Structure 1
Amino acid sequence: MEPVLQQRTEDELPVNHDEKVLLSLGYKQEFKREFSLWSAFCVSFAVLGLLPSFASTLFYGMGSAGTAGMIWGWIIAMVFIQCVALSLAELCSSMPTSGGLYYASAVLAPPGWGPVAAWATGWSSWIGQVTAAPSVNYAVAAMILAVLSIADPNFESKNYQLFLLATFLMIVQSCLSSMPTKWIAVFNSLGSSFNMVAVIVVIILIPTAAVTDPKFRPTHQVWSDIENGTDFPNGIAILMSFTGAMWAMSGFDAPFHLSEECAVADVASPRAIVLTSAIGGMFGWVLQVVVAYTVIDIEAVFESDLGQPWATYLLQVLPMKTGLAALALTIIAGFSMGQGCMVAASRVTYAYARDGCFPMSKYWAKVNKVTKTPVNAVWFNCLVGVLLCCLIFAGQVTVLAIFSVGAIACFVAFAIPISLRVFVVGSRFRRGPWHLGHFGKPVGVAAVGFVALMVPILCLPTNTGGSLNSSNMNWTSLVYGAPMLVALLWFAVDAHKWFKGPKVNAKHAMIGQVIKELEGQAEIY
């Protein structure tokens, strides 16, 4: 008989339900479960940071295919991104651990392939997580310096100023991310609420306060005119515009990594994943439409001396003070987003270090005795993030690669366990209380197909032929490919000898194994 998990209603669950679920996965409870559905959603929504995400990746949407590419590209991308989120939520309900994707790949892989599947997933996921905060803080620092340039036309920002400011933001966020779980939950709830309010305010503010004449562009022009900013055909340009949506939405997996700190995690965490993706996708598209209807000169937005397209756009359509107010909202929301990224990344680092994936893992896997949070992992990620910020000195094109790297790394990590669940495990998959039923496989196939298509697209440069050079090439394949190649070579040469997948501290009960809880609350047959 296929394994089936008999679930009871939430009211009937014993107090230690989460501990029992975690034990069935092979882990003992170490964190305090002080996250609720709302607070887990708040962290992931803060990681999404729709307003700063859109502001940071405006180049990819409007710059690749104009306003038509922005609008249609977001719609098409979100259909498949939602498929990824739904498939991920199903995995989360089945295996609510901090290791998340990495644990799922190890369990779902064919016999003998678990370690290499976990290793590849873990490193790709970690690269995506650890690049998130530096990319956000780079964009926020650029916005802050743009404000200074607006206030003082004689001020010209330097790369070292951008680096120091981004580093300072990361240090402050690391301090906040080292707090006890309860404090982090409160802070991220406030930050996420601010993000929601800021998006709504800007969506209303731009069309009502715009001073351009005419105020809106013609509808047929907005929806049908593709202003191709690449050397590729229009279809490829629209696919390249998906980068913004993929990077902006890549944080919806945060509840998965926080599941060991969430109450009733096998239900609350997958719900938080789906809510984040759905609500984020809806608000993100509305923001795309508002900007598409109000932008005046697309070329001027990307060629301004301010060096920040979002700031240039706001001053193009709004009065000076109103534009600065909208930019200030974006900066504050961006800081909150960066802090949420630090929290999520620290949990991923902790989970992988717990299983010995990193050099000196024993230090990064420690839980602070006072805060009951992985403080060492927070500061390890901070150090790596500061080193990534050094790409600023290599030029804007190079540092922008961390945006597409984040999209590729996260979605590759999403796709590996989803593909194993769909194409390898099949009907033997032990579903959790939140699942897609018969739609699980087709939704998973769509998710994996989308990622397979987009990985090479995200590596394409905007220029081709004689116009392609070192200053405008896409460095994504190097920034992502090099560390992944090193990690895989490390596994082939040495790590395969000692790395056997997640180091569980109790016998897990997945894929046909049998477990009976003493109280009879959860049984797998």
Structure 2
Amino acid sequence: MTVDEDSRRLAELGYKQELARTWSGFSNFAISFSIISILAGCFTTFGQAWNNGGPVAISWGWPIISVFILIIGLCMAELVSAYPTAGGIYWWAAKMGRPVHGWFTGWLNLIGLVAVTASVDYGAATFLNITLNRFFGLQVSLGTTFTIFVVVLLLHALINIFSHRLISVLQNVSVWWHVFGAAIIVAILAFGPDSHQSFGFVFTETVNNSGFADSSYWFYVLPLGFLLTQYTITGFDACAHVSEETKGAATAAARGLWQSIFFSAIGGWILLLAFLFAATDVAAVNEGGGFVGAIFDSALPGNLATAIFAISAIGQFFCGMSCVTSMSRMTYAFSRDGAVPGWRLWSRVDRNRTPVNATLAGCAVAALLTLPALYAPPGTTTPVAFYAVVSIAVIGLYLAFIIPIWLRLRMGDRFVPGPWTLGRKYKVMCWIAVIEIAVVCVYFVLPFVPAGVPGDAEFTWTAVNYAPIAVGVVLVAIGLWWVLSARKWFTGPRRTVEESVVEQPYGSSS
């Protein structure tokens, strides 16, 4: 498909070609691959899985949950092929359902993308702080980490504002950094340690450092450990959000979406298994709160451990950059349709055809959302607020995913697919996706530690998983907003083309 054909298809969906369509199919794949980032999620949330399940939650949990996520991705790939717009899943929901579906989907997606940006950049700041400490002796503290986090957010905003062409190039560089960086880390962990764990340990050992009773291991503690996989492999809707900038988007964005999940799942599993085989000093890992760096420090010479921290920190920086790109495009698209307060400001593009205001606003909100990370419960190294932001990201994004997938299921044969389609397999795959998302969203609003349970003898507000509070408040707010006001004026996607263009299936003449 040529750029002119892409623009024509976009006009059929109701929009002018305002963003510059300069991205290749590989660049489209690259942004989701970078946001998934096995050099980010596998490192920053490793402790969640270690403390809530141990090696079993990682060696078995990762591939099993990855299969479910791939099914979700395949369902979404069919939708982006039919509707390649920057609004992505919000647009799909409004198109297949009613304005109310688009309203809730858009806000959940936007909240999820802001939370992903916040959590990724905070994780990058954590690893940059550790790396700088190892090189220059910079103090490792919550205050220093938060300062670095704000600086990283600002840098990502400036990079995204500077040039859409630069972003495209850096996305491509990011892919190879993740591929070769992960390969180098696996090689270091394979040949650097004096000894390795057994297969029995990696695939059968259980750990419960959560504080909850062992009797709740299988139905409560272990599922909390799956947050590692569910959080790492997310943000793949970015392929849709940059589809208006991608050449041949109807096929390239669909292919980029599912392939980013597939290759990340394989690469991430290999990387995590390398971590587990190198975790010979279990006591050190437990003492470090499950932090993956404890594995490197206990199993490797200092210089090799520092190399791993540096490779991961740079990979996480690339990941955060991609998150800001995706978030800003969604903010732009949702504002373009008048859904965000001050929408005229956020839907404006500069002379480089970049949504500058949307980029700055999203980064500012991400910083505010992460303020509770300045505080941590006594005796812990990673603030519970970090995992809360992670949960907000997962819940916001996956709740947004479930709406268009359910609407696609409901449409049945009335759905007109694009060139990439699931065929008759859509029924079973959409049902699996809907059920998996529903289960995930229930688990990730639950307390992570006993001290976060109201009424517990050691209850403290710094240990509370505030994801249900944040998500609940937002759902109530946007629900009330809809009932009291938005339903009277929000009609879903607004056409920006001057002349009426009849929407046609692919392959028909215009």
**TM-score normalised by L of structure 1:** 0.89
| Contact map agreement 1:26 1:508 (CA 8 A) in 2 | no
Shift of 1:24: 1.7
User: Which of 176, 197, 202 is equivalent to 1:217?
Assistant: 197
Corresponding residue for 1:285? 269
Alignment map for 1:340-359 (pairs within 5 Å): 340-359=322-341
Residue identity matched to 1:355: D
Corresponding residue for 2:435? 449
Shift of 1:405: 1.1
User: Which of 17, 33, 38 is equivalent to 2:5?
Assistant: 17
Shift of 1:59: 1.6
Matched, 1:42 2:30: yes
Corresponding residue for 1:440? 426
User: Which of 400, 406, 417 is equivalent to 2:404?
Assistant: 417
Residue identity matched to 1:145: N
| Contact map agreement 1:143 1:308 (CA 8 A) in 2 | no
| Contact map agreement 1:25 1:508 (CA 8 A) in 2 | no
Residue identity matched to 2:280: I
Residues 1:349 and 1:237: Cα distance change in structure 2 (over 3 Å): same
Residues 1:397 and 1:455: Cα distance change in structure 2 (over 3 Å): same
Matched, 1:273 2:257: yes
Corresponding residue for 2:494? 503
Corresponding residue for 1:335? 317
**TM-score normalised by L of structure 2:** 0.92
Shift of 1:171: 0.5
| Contact map agreement 1:301 1:309 (CA 8 A) in 2 | yes
| Contact map agreement 1:402 1:479 (CA 8 A) in 2 | no
| Contact map agreement 1:125 1:413 (CA 8 A) in 2 | yes
Residue identity matched to 1:373: T
**Secondary structure, counterpart of 1:500 in structure 2:** coil
Corresponding residue for 2:380? none
Residues 1:14 and 1:127: Cα distance change in structure 2 (over 3 Å): closer
Matched, 1:226 2:206: yes
Corresponding residue for 2:357? 376
Residues 1:148 and 1:264: Cα distance change in structure 2 (over 3 Å): closer
Shift of 1:198: 0.8
Residues 1:340 and 1:152: Cα distance change in structure 2 (over 3 Å): closer
Shift of 1:514: 6.4
Residue identity matched to 1:328: A
Cα distance in 2 between the residues matched to 1:460 and 1:298: 27
Corresponding residue for 2:62? 74
| Contact map agreement 1:418 1:444 (CA 8 A) in 2 | yes
Shift of 1:151: 5.7
Alignment map for 1:466-481 (pairs within 5 Å): 466=456, 469-470=459-460, 471-481=462-472
Shift of 1:179: 2.6
**Secondary structure, counterpart of 2:339 in structure 1:** coil
Corresponding residue for 2:81? 93
| Contact map agreement 2:12 2:504 (CA 8 A) in 1 | no
Corresponding residue for 2:122? 138
Q: Aligned pair count?
A: 495
**Secondary structure, counterpart of 1:459 in structure 2:** coil
Shift of 1:145: 2.5
Corresponding residue for 1:7? none
> What are structure 2's unaligned runs of at least 5 residues?
377-382
Cα distance in 2 between the residues matched to 1:407 and 1:189: 25
Corresponding residue for 1:427? 413
Corresponding residue for 1:5? none
User: Which of 396, 399, 403 is equivalent to 2:390?
Assistant: 403
Residue identity matched to 2:143: Y
Cα distance in 2 between the residues matched to 1:460 and 1:516: 46
Residues 1:436 and 1:316: Cα distance change in structure 2 (over 3 Å): same
Shift of 1:485: 2.1
Residue identity matched to 2:344: K
Shift of 1:400: 2.4
| Contact map agreement 1:167 1:389 (CA 8 A) in 2 | no
Cα distance in 2 between the residues matched to 1:16 and 1:302: 57
Shift of 1:302: 4.9
Cα distance in 2 between the residues matched to 1:516 and 1:348: 25
Residues 1:329 and 1:95: Cα distance change in structure 2 (over 3 Å): same
| Contact map agreement 2:48 2:290 (CA 8 A) in 1 | no
Post-superposition Cα deviations, 1:266-286, rounded to whole Å, max 9, x if no partner, equal 000000001100000111111
Residue identity matched to 2:448: T
Q: Which deviates the most, 115-124 or 454-463?
A: 454-463
Cα distance in 1 between the residues matched to 2:244 and 2:424: 28
Residue identity matched to 1:144: L
Corresponding residue for 2:21? 33
Residues 1:291 and 1:88: Cα distance change in structure 2 (over 3 Å): same
Cα distance in 2 between the residues matched to 1:407 and 1:514: 37
Shift of 1:426: 1.0
Cα distance in 1 between the residues matched to 2:43 and 2:341: 36
Corresponding residue for 1:102? 90
| Contact map agreement 1:26 1:507 (CA 8 A) in 2 | no
Cα distance in 2 between the residues matched to 1:426 and 1:276: 27
Cα distance in 1 between the residues matched to 2:469 and 2:153: 24
**Secondary structure, counterpart of 1:522 in structure 2:** coil
Cα distance in 1 between the residues matched to 2:504 and 2:297: 64
> What are structure 1's unaligned runs of at least 5 residues?
1-12
**Secondary structure, counterpart of 2:459 in structure 1:** coil
Shift of 1:149: 4.6
Shift of 1:467: 5.7
Alignment map for 1:177-326 (pairs within 5 Å): 177-211=160-194, 215-230=195-210, 231=212, 232-298=216-282, 300-304=284-288, 309-326=291-308
Residues 1:286 and 1:15: Cα distance change in structure 2 (over 3 Å): closer
| Contact map agreement 2:12 2:502 (CA 8 A) in 1 | no
| Contact map agreement 1:401 1:479 (CA 8 A) in 2 | no
- The percentage of aligned residue pairs carrying the same residue is 28
| Contact map agreement 1:115 1:500 (CA 8 A) in 2 | yes
